[in-house]
Chains A and B, each alone.
Chain A
């Protein structure tokens, strides 16, 4: 998964742009910078980046507005913001951001998130039918789950939830996105359904349900499948 990727860094703070530029270059990426929303949209059109690191607090417009515009042009979007309120994260993810990193961040973590996002971007086109995480295999085509080769029976909702997470391992899927995909529209806020189904999956698939390692909770935001 290594190799040259074009990354656009959008942030109004020059020091942060320089910092990200250095870290990304070290990892072998080709980096361009933009200091405001207008420049970012231009750069997306001209440089055709694979991924955009987007700050929400831009001088000319709110970063949340940019997410859909950038996504529709092709690149994956990772929000890198000092806004750490849950509602901002949920809003960014629901608008189509691939991931969310809070400032201050760890450069290594940003690089890891970029790798995950790029993997999803590629696999979006060639969805593999079987996803394996540790000793668990999820077969999306046959709607079957095995642990150590043994079939585990999940309820339809449990399987639906697991499958939704497995389509993008490592990516945070918001509560609303999961509820809409599995339970249908109109259940956006029934978080309790998710809690029940998640606990069901864990009891059947985790070695130690009180120490879950398969599905990770993002408090108040959503769930992600551990991407091993």
Chain B
């Protein structure tokens, strides 16, 4: 059996936690259990242990014990916020981040900030502190937890407005602050418990023993769950096998109905209990087109809530809810399905069949949970507005009635000589037209009108509404049922067409957008196209900002020339820094007129996109948000592509330059050496016939040799300056290297005495043999040149603590004091003399090659006697100790 592999997601979560601060939450069942007190106690303990602890916000509620504990701490002053004439105090995040404590105490995790603050909620402030690497202690009452909100409200009858997304607790350490309910009630009686206003109203019921027991159980259970989840994460990250055999996948079906939010919260609880991933899905049917604005808003809110609670969210079009659910559950391999059941009339179920019954029957292998959908508690107060019934347009009725009249007239003309029964069929025309064009109700009304007209004008006794012949009753019934059936068929077709038109509009907008982006090759053009296209599709003002080092710069806007206020800039900057949306319609800096979305990959913001509306409405409607996100995804992809293309172009440009340089060097080298070869070779073949010719010939040979060396040096110099020296570093024996150089210089050194002093146990040196060979040749040649014919050269090498030093000493005039560095410059000659016939390049080449290999070359005068001394030093890490075999 293979050992279990660490779950990458769990590892990722652990990694993202690295470098971030840790959150510890003191969780209590109800106000007054002593959370703040406990937090302060632990803070004091940490402080005594040497941790840098400050207070961000602590509410003492006038309690003496609490106030005493606060005194020992540094308190970061709160920020004053003006709101409608009131001065409110809120936590100053920036001051805390600037102060950089190791730990900050922040009371009341679920607190809602005053309008105008950077974040709506305090937990968002705290997330920013954690991101800044600061540990946070905070407090929370269990009833504020989003997923328990309904549950708590159901038995306490008090709905808490300040809720906290469950995910905030996911990574937090939780400490339960618990006292028995009796004790709490006693404390309450003694006035030791501060009671918030909303609870005060329902005080008697809220602090009942049964409520407190239930809350206490919830708190304990939630804490145990959080610990379990963290344990599970740890085990997954470390590949401890064997616990989670469950591979459940939960799907909750969301409708537009009130109470769906409760369904979502229930699903979250079940998903948590099963530790299963979960998806909230809304099935879009033809009926969806008839949703009222309220329905749509509620649906969007429910979906948003689901996303906040950690669900994946999907909207799937289908002809019916059952088909859509079945297909989605199948595709997502769901094992558990949660549906709500409205209290519908028996009549409705008889007519439509129960969705639940059919699901259970038609989707075997799927556990179906049915929860009652009760609109009672859910956000009570909103009047239950149903969507306006599609009674049809007055124009439709007018046209239909005209048609009925027309048919009656035509019928009257025919009636003079024809069969009555056939005239009945004529009335199908207005019925069909009305049903298919104007909908069910117009169709039925037209059917009624037609049968009345038929009855009145054509069925004997005519000009009355009485029917004598039972056969004619049948005709009337047929007319009515044709109206019903055909209008239902037609309206279904029309609704489907409308829906698919809407989604095809969206799809074509996306496809068109993607198409526009493909041809673009510069980021500027891309920014412009993104601005104009999205402005057109969503009918708003758009702006694109690109990061420029730390700041953001406007790259394009539609309409052009848009300016951002300081507040807007702050929102854009925040969106970039936190890789989250900011501004109006988001959770952060909502006072900005603009909504800013980061564009790019998950970890890298390549641009920030802003959207606003001139008519002071929210920048993006809830139903347009998915489209906007898809558009921005496309833009992000295109940006990534362009960045990649630029990178590739730059790289190939460098490569091409290198290739050209190399080609040029080798062709120049070839083109210069080939004629030189002929000249030198031919000179060798020539035989002088007189002493004068002999002198000329040897002078020519000497000059050709010089030219040859000059060309060699020139090419070396070009290679150095072009930075295209290729190196192969290998261990080299200095004795070998010196001997090879002397061998190659044998002709030049004919008249010199060479003294070697190279120890036979010297370490090897790590150099490029060919470059080093050239260094030595130039140094030795230089020594011979300045020493002159008959002079002696001394080549010595020794090793010591600082590595190995090779020196070349000559008997020349030496180096003028202060010129030790200048000798290595190009075309420098000692004392400006050119009688030696050098090129002035030799030493520069030595320096260039030595630099390339990281060796140090120095020029100095000999310690004893006249002459110069050149040394090459090898650091210890550039040598390899010789170990005798």
State the CA gap A16–B730 with chains docked (Å).
36
The stretch from B94-102, B270-278, B679-687 touching chain A is B679-687
Q: List 27 A-B contacts (CB under 8 A).
A: A13-B674, A16-B674, A19-B685, A26-B685, A85-B770, A87-B728, A103-B676, A103-B677, A105-B680, A107-B685, A192-B731, A196-B882, A196-B885, A198-B733, A198-B736, A199-B733, A202-B735, A209-B760, A210-B757, A210-B759, A212-B735, A216-B740, A218-B740, A219-B732, A219-B769, A219-B770, A220-B770
CB distance from B505 to the nearest CB of A (A): 63
A22 to B686, CA, bound (A): 11
Q: Are A155 and B885 in contact (CB under 8 A)?
A: yes
Compute how far the CA of A52 lies from the CA of B411 in the bound complex, rounded to whole angstroms.
115
In the assembled complex, the CB of B728 is this many whole angstroms from the nearest CB of chain A, namely 7
How far is it, in angstroms, between the C-alpha of A196 and the C-alpha of B736 when the chains are bound? 12
Given the complex, which residues of B lie within 8 Å of A57, measured CB to CB? 670
Which residues on B sit within 8 Å (CB–CB) of A125?
Answer: none
B676 nearest CB across to chain A (Å): 5
Q: How far is the CA of A83 from the CA of B667 in the complex (A)?
A: 10
Query: Are A106 and B736 also in contact (CB < 8 A) when A82-B669, A82-B674, A219-B769 are?
Result: no
- Mark B residues whose CB is within 8 Å of A: 666, 669-670, 673-682, 684-685, 708, 728, 730-733, 735-737, 739-740, 743, 756-760, 764, 768-770, 772-773, 880, 882-885
For the complex, give the distance between the alpha carbons of A92 and B680 in Å: 24
A104 touches B883 (CB 8 A): no
| CB closest chain-B residue, reference A218 | B740
A19 CA to B674 CA, complexed, in Å: 12
Chain B residues within an 8 Å CB radius of A196: 882-885
In the complex, the answer to whether A219 meets B740 with C-beta atoms within 8 Å is yes
With A197-B885, A203-B760 as contacts: A217 and B880 at CB distance below 8 Å = no
Q: Does A217 lie within 8 Å of B680, measured CB to CB?
A: no
Say yes or no for A211: interface residue by CB 8 A criterion. Answer: yes
Complex-state Cα separation, A209 to B728, whole angstroms:
26
Within 8 A of B (CB), among A64-110: 82-87, 103-108
- Interface set, chain A 116-161, CB cutoff 8 A to B: 155, 157-158
Q: How close is B545's CB to chain A, nearest CB, in angstroms?
A: 51
- Measured between beta carbons, the chain B residues less than 8 angstroms from A192 are 730-731, 764, 880
A104-B735 in contact (CB<8A): no
Closest beta carbon of chain A to B853's beta carbon, Å: 13
* Complex: chain A residue closest to B737, CB-CB: A219
A157 to B148, CA, bound (A): 82
Distance in angstroms between the alpha carbons of A164 and B375 in the assembled complex:
97
Contacting B674 at CB < 8 Å: which of A103, A108, A195, A210? A103
Known: A82-B669, A220-B728. A16 touches B677 (CB 8 A): yes
- Give Cα distance in the complex from A103 to B768, angstroms: 22
Closest CB pairs A-B (n = 4): A220-B769, A217-B736, A104-B677, A219-B773
With most chain B CB atoms within 10 A of its CB, the pick from A20, A104, A199, A220 is A104
Is there a chain B Cβ closer than 8 Å to A15's Cβ?
yes
Interface residue tally of chain A, by bracket? 35 or more
Check: A23 CB closer than 8 A to any chain B CB.
Answer: yes
Q: Report the bound CA distance from A217 to B742 in whole Å.
A: 11
What is the minimal beta-carbon distance from A185 to any residue of chain B, in angstroms? 19
- Cα–Cα distance between A202 and B739 once the two chains are bound (Å): 13
- B673 pairs with A104, CB closer than 8 A: yes
Distance from A154 Cβ to chain B, minimum over Cβ atoms (Å): 10
Given A16-B678, A217-B737, A220-B728, residue A210 in contact with residue B769 (CB < 8 A) = no
Closest to A80 in B: B677
B732: chain A residues within 8 A (beta carbon): 195, 219
| Chain A: minimal CB distance from B110 (Å) | 67
B675, B684, B769: the one contacting A108 at CB < 8 Å is: B684
Q: A16-B681, A104-B681 are in contact. Are A200 and B885 (CB under 8 A)?
A: yes
- Bound CA span A16–B681, Å: 8
A23 to B677, CA, bound (A): 13
Give every chain A residue within 8 A of B884 (Cβ-Cβ). Answer: 196, 200
Question: Which residues from B are CB-within-8-Å of A106?
Answer: 680-681, 684
| Contact indicator A105/B677 (Cβ below 8 Å) | yes
Interface positions, chain A 1-29, Cβ under 8 Å from B, are 13, 15-16, 19-20, 22-23, 26
Give the contacting residue for B764; candidates A195, A210, A220; CB below 8 A. A195
B674 and A23 contact, CB distance less than 8 A: no
- Quick check: is A181 within 8 A (CB to CB) of the other chain? no
Cβ of A191 under 8 Å from chain B? yes
By beta carbon, the residue of chain B nearest A14 is: B678
Taking A82-B674, A219-B770 as contacts, is the C-beta distance between A199 and B740 under 8 angstroms? no
User: What distance in Å separates the Cβ of A163 from its nearest Cβ neighbour in chain B?
Assistant: 16
Contact with B along A180-222 (1 / 0, CB 8 A): 0000000000011001111110110000011110001111100
**A199 contacts B882, C-beta separation under 8 Å:** yes
- Chain A nearest CB from B797 CB (Å) reads 9
Which residues of chain B are near A23, meaning CB under 8 Å? 681, 684-685
Do residues B731 and A104 form an inter-chain contact, with CB atoms below 8 A? no
Interchain CB contact under 8 A, B677 and A86: no
Give the complex CA separation of A191 and B880 in angstroms: 12
> Nearest CB to that of A217 among chain B residues?
B736
Report the Cα distance A140→B883, complex, angstroms: 27
Report B659 CB to chain A, min CB distance, Å: 16
Say how far B559's CB is from chain A's closest CB, in angstroms. Answer: 62
A212 contacts which chain B residues (CB < 8 A)?
Answer: 735-736, 739
Q: A82-B669, A82-B673, A212-B736 are in contact. Are A104 and B680 (CB under 8 A)?
A: yes
How many Å lie between the Cα of A132 and that of B146 in the bound state?
97
A217–B733 touching, CB < 8 Å? yes
Contact present for A22 and B685 (CB under 8 Å): yes
User: What's the minimum C-beta distance from B550 to chain A, rounded to whole angstroms?
Assistant: 47
B684: chain A residues within 8 A (beta carbon): 23, 106-108
How near does chain A come to B845, taking the closest CB pair, in angstroms?
A: 15
CA distance A155 to B884 in the complex (A): 11
A103 contact set on B, CB distance < 8 A: 673-674, 676-677
Indicate which residue in B730, B735, B883 contacts A210 across the interface (CB closer than 8 Å): B735
Q: How many angstroms from the CA of A57 to the CA of B759 in the assembled complex?
A: 42
B678 engages A195 (CB within 8 Å): no
Of all chain B residues, the one with the shortest Cβ separation from A193 is B885
Q: How far is the CB of A61 from chain B (nearest CB, A)?
A: 16
Determine how close the nearest CB of chain B comes to the CB of A126; give it in whole angstroms.
31
Determine the chain A residues whose CB is within 8 A of the CB of B768 once the complex forms.
220
How distant is A103 from chain B, measured CB to nearest CB, in Å? 4
Name the CB-closest residue of B to A191.
B730
Output the least CB separation between B835 and chain A (Å).
26
Give Cα A196 to B708, complex, Å.
36
A216 near B769: Cβ-Cβ < 8 Å: no
Distance in Å: Cβ of B781 to nearest Cβ of chain A: 16
Q: Which residue of A lies closest to B744 (CB)?
A: A219
- A196 to nearest B CB, angstroms? 5
| A82 and B670 contact, CB distance less than 8 A | yes
B678 to A, closest residue via Cβ: A15
B665 to chain A, nearest CB (A): 10
Q: Are A19 and B682 touching (Cβ within 8 A)?
A: yes
- CB atoms of B760 and A86 under 8 A apart: no
A155 to B728 Cα, complex, angstroms: 29
For B670, the chain A residues whose CB sits under 8 A away are: 57, 82-83
Which residues on the B side are within 8 Å of A82 (C-beta)? 669-670, 673-674, 677
Picked from B675, B681, B736, the residue with its CB within 8 Å of the CB of A105 is B681
- Which of A19, A108, A157 contacts B885 (CB under 8 A)? A157
CB closest chain-B residue, reference A199: B733
Minimum distance in angstroms from A226 CB to a CB of chain B? 10
